[in-house]
Structure formats: C-alpha cells, structure tokens
Amino acid sequence: MKNIYLDNIKLVIFDVDGTLYDQSKLRKKMLVELIRYYILRPWKFKDLLIVYHFRKEREKKAGQQIDNLQEEQYNWCATKINLPVSRIKEVVNKWIFNFPIKYLKESTYPGVNSFFSKLEQNGILTAIYSDYDSKLKLESMNLAAALLVSSTDENINAMKPLPNGLNYILSKLNIVDKNKCLFIGDRQELDGLCAEQAGIPFLLVDKEQAKDNFYKSLSNKLA
C-alpha cells in the first residue's frame, strides 16, 4: 500500500462494489443460486441474458453523460435482447439489486466497519459514490455515510470516470481543498481516472490485501 496520510483528511469517499466487499466471493454465491434457480426453470433462460446484457451495456457507456440514466439503463438492455422494459426491471431488481443484499454482511472486507468508525471518531466525513444505488447495500453492511451518491441520481446522470459524482459530493459537503479529500476505489480505469479528473487523491484497493489487512492498516494510520 502506498503512503497515505490521513491526519489532514476531511473527507473519505468510497466506491462500493469490490471496494467495501469481496465481489468475487459474492459472484460465486450468485452463480450457484442462478444455476439452482434456472435448472428447474429452463423456460426462463432469457433472464440470464438480461443479467449479462444489463451489465454489459452499462459498461459500454462508461464515461458518458446521459439524460435520465436511471431509465435509460433498462432501455439499452431491452433493445439489445428485444424484451419489454418491465421484464428487464423485474429480473434486474431480483438478481442485481436485491439478491446480493443478504450476502453483503458476510462478504464485507475485514476492518471496513472499524475503519468507518475510526473516521467518525476522528471527525472525518464519509461519502459514497457508486455507479449503482447503494442505500440498501450500506444498510446491509451496517455502514453509514454523510452522503450517498449514485451515477443514476437525477442530478448526476453520468457514468464513471466522469467526475460529476465526486464534484457533487465536494460541493454538497463544502470541501474546498481537494487535497483534504480521498477517494477509495477498486478500479483504476474507472475510480482512479474519475478521481484524477476531479483533481482529488485516490487510493486503489488491493483486493487480495483487502481480504486480510488493507482496511486494518488504514485504521492504524488513524490510531
């Protein structure tokens, strides 16, 4: 881990997926559940295409600003596989937004909760910036932040690595000196570039180290 000095930080912003929890562990659980569910319901196999293309079409739009992104993300998928938007929403809500919730607590990286607590104890604000809505995810991990922002929020409507979400957070929390802010994420090509375009320091999560002592080490810097 590179040297990060937290004694002068006023705000730490976190990505969520792959940053606060072990995404590979969660995806393994999801794969098992998908197989169990659809092996008994082969007539619903198109649901798997929905899950795949919903994610894929979103990834293709990285770095774009899109009016009404919240709705458009479903339209992209519906057009791709020629299914009604209502069906897309039903499947996406089931497998992408709701399914992970019950497994997030056990998939949370060690030390995340204590790091959030340490930040609060030291008077450092926390915020969330994710490409997906994160309210239920934070609640399931027993985490709280001063501000939760998603790329699909109506006042953002922009996909990472555009810095709209980070700039909005800085504005809402009245952070003028960007060097007193830190963005923590797990993807250099999205989170890292997003931080660079916003002009704020960035810390890349080492996913292997995060399974052990990444967040514990950060907490020690605040001890």
**Sign of the alpha-carbon torsion through 134, 136, 142, 147:** positive
Local confidence pLDDT in tens for the 223 residues of the chain: 455 667 789 999 999 999 999 999 998 988 899 999 999 999 999 999 999 999 999 999 999 999 999 999 999 999 999 999 999 999 999 999 999 899 999 999 999 999 999 999 999 999 999 999 999 999 999 999 999 999 999 999 999 999 999 999 999 999 999 999 999 999 999 999 999 999 999 999 998 899 898 999 998 887 6
Distance CA(39)–CA(83), nearest Å, equals 21
The one-letter amino acid at 106: E
135, 47 Cβ separation under 8 angstroms: no
Distance CA(31)–CA(24), nearest Å, equals 10
Residue corresponding to tokens 């881990």 = 1
61, 80 Cβ separation under 8 angstroms: no
Give Cβ neighbours of residue 176 (< 8 Å, ≥ 6 apart): none
CA proximity to 205, closest of 109, 136, 141, 103: 109
Distance CA(20)–CA(14), nearest Å, equals 8
Q: Which domains does the chain have, with CATH numbers?
A: 11-22+107-220 (3.40.50.1000), 25-103 (no CATH)
Angle ∠(98,100,102) on CA atoms, nearest 5: 90
Omega before residue 161 within 30° of 0, cis: yes
Put simply, whether the predicted model's pTM sits higher than 0.75 gets the answer yes
What are the DSSP calls for 123-156, one per residue? T-EEEEEESS--HHHHHHTT---SEEEETTSTTT
Given phi > 0 = left and psi -120 to 50 = alpha, else beta, which region is 196? alpha
158, 165 Cβ separation under 8 angstroms: yes
CA proximity to 137, closest of 51, 54, 56, 21: 21
